[in-house]
């Protein structure tokens, strides 16, 4: 339709693209090429955030803590690192360019180098992309949504409960749990004001460092000492009512529709359409 001359005042972008590590950049790139305004982050930010290693480097440069990690593109790289493997066990291994916890299973936690080698090889060959090996943070898990731009509005943290537990220890979110009943979202989270402030600071700093616009969601793990660590960022999170935005809206006294309209208003304002 674009090639035929069709134009819109603004496109509300929720498209994840087709393939490759730049797939979420595809629609923003096309819209920019034809001068069509859209909601959400631009192609550069979409590419940066889908590549977990690049995102971790970016937020780390901005002073945000993130678990120590290695990115392994080919298995021989791992063999070269065996004698100098400095990451603390346990480690978690995942694909570098996937979402919705794809490639993450209970076997993703590794406690020795033989396990690391086995799971890394599986990730590289199964997903045809690099593997991220990062120190696993035992503790609790949160996701923090941020909307708007000037200034960004950091929404209340959502705590992840698995099988009724919020003190997860070494349990974690896996791809299998995306569509089962193990995971519950608790918002507002039952945490101290001090921890809430820390979580919001991590989310805001990450949002700014990665150049996110209009809306995004930052996943954070908190260790047993109460220190938060950036895990990854989704600049194109699920806005459906099955995800976190419905309980978040209730927590801030908005209807779900009102929250979505605030995202739309932010995009219109940023593009000088209102």
> In the prediction, which pLDDT does 34 show?
94
State the alpha helices, DSSP H only, in the chain.
Answer: 26-33, 43-50, 52-61, 75-81, 113-127, 193-209, 245-251, 256-270
CATH of domain 138-270: 3.30.470.20
> In the prediction, which pLDDT does 1 show?
83
Who's near 251: CB < 8 A, 6+ residues apart? Answer: 155, 156, 187, 188
Could you tell me the CA-to-CA distances from 179 to 45, 148, 204, 213, 242 in Å, in that order?
A: 27, 29, 28, 28, 10
> In the prediction, which pLDDT does 101 show?
81
> In the prediction, which pLDDT does 217 show?
98
Domain boundaries, the chain: 69-135, 138-270
Fold of 69-135: Dna Ligase; domain 1 (3.30.1490)
> In the prediction, which pLDDT does 79 show?
82
pTM of the model: 0.93
Could you tell me the CA-to-CA distances from 66 to 15, 59, 62, 88, 167 in Å, in that order?
A: 28, 8, 11, 14, 20
> In the prediction, which pLDDT does 216 show?
98
Closest by alpha carbon to 24, among 258, 210, 270?
A: 210
Sequential pLDDT tens for the chain (274 residues): 888 888 999 999 999 999 888 999 999 999 999 999 999 999 999 999 999 999 999 999 999 999 999 999 998 888 877 777 889 999 999 999 998 788 898 899 999 999 999 999 999 999 999 999 999 999 999 999 999 999 999 999 999 999 999 999 998 888 777 777 888 999 999 999 999 999 999 999 999 999 999 999 999 999 999 999 999 999 999 999 988 999 999 999 999 999 999 999 999 999 999 9
């Amino acid at each position: 339709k674009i090639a035929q001359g069709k134009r819109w005042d603004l496109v509300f972008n929720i498209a994840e693209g087709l393939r490759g590590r730049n797939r979420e950049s595809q629609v923003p790139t096309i819209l920019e090429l034809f001068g069509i305004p859209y909601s959400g982050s631009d192609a550069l930010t979409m590419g940066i955030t889908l590549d977990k290693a690049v995102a971790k480097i970016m937020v780390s440069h901005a002073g945000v803590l993130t678990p120590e990690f290695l990115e392994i593109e080919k298995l021989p790289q791992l063999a070269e690192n065996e004698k100098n493997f400095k990451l603390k066990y346990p480690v978690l291994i995942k694909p570098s360019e996937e979402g919705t916890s794809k490639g993450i299973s209970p076997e993703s936690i590794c406690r020795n180098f033989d396990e690391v080698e086995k799971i890394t090889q599986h990730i590289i060959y199964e997903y045809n992309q690099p593997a991220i090996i990062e120190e696993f943070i035992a503790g609790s898990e949160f996701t923090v949504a941020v909307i708007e731009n000037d200034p960004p509005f950091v929404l209340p943290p959502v705590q992840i409960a698995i099988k009724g537990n919020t003190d997860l220890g070494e349990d974690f979110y896996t791809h299998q749990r995306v569509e089962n009943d193990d995971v519950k979202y608790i918002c507002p989270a039952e945490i101290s004001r001090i921890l809430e402030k820390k979580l919001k600071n991590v989310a805001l700093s990450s949002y700014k460092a990665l150049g996110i616009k209009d809306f995004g969601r930052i996943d954070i793990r908190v260790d047993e000492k109460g220190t938060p660590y950036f895990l990854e960022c989704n600049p194109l999170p699920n806005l459906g009512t099955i995800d976190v935005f419905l309980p978040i809206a209730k927590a801030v006294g908005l209807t779900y529709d009102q929250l979505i309209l605030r995202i739309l208003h932010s995009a219109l304002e940023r593009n000088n359409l209102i």
